[in-house]
Amino acid sequence: MAATASITQLNWRCVPTWRRASYNTMWCLIGCSIGDMGTILFFQLSGYALLADPAWNTLAIMSLAIVNGILTSIALETFILSRQMALPAAFKTAVGMSLISMVSMEIAMNAVDVALTGGAKLTWWVLPVMWLAGFLTPLPYNYWRLKALGKACH
């Protein structure tokens, strides 16, 4: 498929591409979850509030969680890629991954958390729902990126 193919011209039924996009998305989800949920858990267990207003505090924690999620995703991807290429090249490739995918994943997970728990809180029952939302949200974009642009991080 040409790099200029539109969304409607794409073959959305390519099973190998869906598998590859799912694999890439899974690794991104693992990396993002480590930083994101680690940040939320820290504030949840420590009781430390960034801001006095609970609504602004939730927004501040979730924003920090998004940043940390992206950073840990880049670190994990760099580690994985460093087995295939030199460390500087692995880091450059990891940083060059799609921020659209990572940010949409992070926002989806955090929106589910706030919607279901009422704040920046992790519970055993919210985790699978957060992971599902975090996985499904960027998956079509990651498929399109592979199919239309030939871009993959692995």
pLDDT digits (tens, 9 = 90+) for 52-82: 888 899 999 999 999 999 999 999 989 998 9
Domain range for 26 is 15-149
Q: Is residue 140 part of a domain?
A: yes
How far is Cα 65 from Cα 58, in angstroms, rounded to an integer? 10
Is pLDDT of 153 > 50? no
The total of structural domains in the chain comes to 1
Task: Return the pLDDT at 7.
Answer: 67
> Quick check: pTM over 0.85?
yes
How far is Cα 25 from Cα 6, in angstroms, rounded to an integer? 22
Q: Is residue 25 part of a domain?
A: yes
Q: Is residue 22 part of a domain?
A: yes
Q: Is residue 1 part of a domain?
A: no
Q: Is residue 4 part of a domain?
A: no
Q: Is residue 5 part of a domain?
A: no
Residue whose token pair is 């659209």: 100
How far is Cα 62 from Cα 3, in angstroms, rounded to an integer? 35
